[in-house]
Structure 1
């Protein structure tokens, strides 16, 4: 599979990234400016493995003739697949129109006109989304008007950036770049 962001020797193409702060040609499409982390992908893979067991058990139950049990296993398997796919979509998405924060059960979309500030702050953050908090960094998106920040889904201890601080810094810089470049165009 070709990876256009890598050069022939496997290093990131820093010349192209230095020339364009937002290296996407189609700015109208929603994009996640970072790749999902290994914890998020591993969790989704485990859910898909569980779904395969559920679907296989639905097949065995259907061959045994117990259709209500098959329907329950099939429904549970499809629900686990939907959960795994939604887990992979969790994060911050940007486009020329605004910023979208996708959670597991909810999505918040703000136009760039409604975003007052995007900055990295030091604060207690959840470790892998669990109730345990640790001191870390979070990307704070402050709304225009009420000044209430969005819930920080982009932290250096979440499933995308745990043990990868340089990836968090790059993602936060890119999202701040989108905000800095898109807000003046949105306010005209």
Structure 2
């Protein structure tokens, strides 16, 4: 069974063959896609959670066969929560389409239309290591929103920055510096494309 959220389009990682080609060689631009492959840390975490869920499901079957229906139902509920958590963990990241940029977190999703994005920047700054409190120096890709004029609805410069999109030390790019650079370039190209 194909899981489209686990794979990125192969075209996004291939450099453009000619200078006149667009940097975004996608056929269906309205489809939300992650412009990079999930990293091994994220996939390993999801796999371990799904393995745990399989053990809980086996426990539910054994408890149900033993005659304790309420215990089996509790185990089924726990397994469903673990599976939902694992799938959400695998969806975390940045998604792009012609409609805008979507940042998916564990407990939140922020979608911004391209018109409300002033800039997408890569900067050297302190970043969290695998999302833990420990910080170290690294690169981060962040989005700066536009600030609308008072009552006019026009862009009045840059507003406050959005939460950091990607870092070179998160679960997708730890130990994959080239993959981070490629993903940052693709997202910046999506942001710079004229609409």
Same fold (TM over 0.5): yes
Cα offset, 1:123, TM superposition: 1.0
Residues 51-92 of structure 1, C-alpha deviations (whole Å, 9 max, x = no match): 000000000000011111111110000100001100110000
Do the aligned partners of 1:61 and 1:69 also contact (CA within 8 Å) in 2?
Answer: yes
Could you list the structure 1 runs, at least 4 aligned residues long, displaced by more than 2 angstroms after superposition. 3-6, 12-20
Cα offset, 1:148, TM superposition: 1.6
Residues 146-183 of structure 1, C-alpha deviations (whole Å, 9 max, x = no match): 722111141000000000000000000000000000xx
Aligned in 2, Cα 1:67/1:16: closer, same or farther, shift over 3 Å?
farther
Do the aligned partners of 1:86 and 1:104 also contact (CA within 8 Å) in 2?
Answer: yes
Greater share of helix residues, 1 or 2?
1
Whole-Å separation in 2 of the counterparts to 1:159 and 1:149? 22
1:114 corresponds to which of 99, 113, 116: 116
Whole-Å separation in 2 of the counterparts to 1:81 and 1:131? 26
Whole-Å separation in 2 of the counterparts to 1:148 and 1:75? 41
Do the aligned partners of 2:127 and 2:135 also contact (CA within 8 Å) in 1?
Answer: yes
Do the aligned partners of 2:91 and 2:104 also contact (CA within 8 Å) in 1?
Answer: yes
Structure 1 unaligned regions, length at least 5:
7-11
Whole-Å separation in 1 of the counterparts to 2:46 and 2:173? 16
Structure 2 unaligned regions, length at least 5:
3-7, 148-157
Aligned in 2, Cα 1:13/1:128: closer, same or farther, shift over 3 Å?
closer
Whole-Å separation in 2 of the counterparts to 1:4 and 1:151? 25
What is the count of residue pairs matched by the alignment?
Answer: 177
Residue equivalent to 2:154: none
Q: Does 1:99 align with 2:93?
A: no
TM-score after normalising by structure 2? 0.85
Q: Does 1:130 align with 2:132?
A: yes
Cα offset, 1:131, TM superposition: 1.1
Greater share of strand residues, 1 or 2?
2
Do the aligned partners of 1:17 and 1:23 also contact (CA within 8 Å) in 2?
Answer: no
- Output the aligned Cα RMSD: 2.0
Whole-Å separation in 2 of the counterparts to 1:4 and 1:43? 22
Q: Does 1:177 align with 2:189?
A: yes
Whole-Å separation in 1 of the counterparts to 2:185 and 2:192? 10
Moved more, 154-163 or 137-146: 137-146
Moved more, 59-68 or 145-154: 145-154
Whole-Å separation in 2 of the counterparts to 1:110 and 1:153? 12
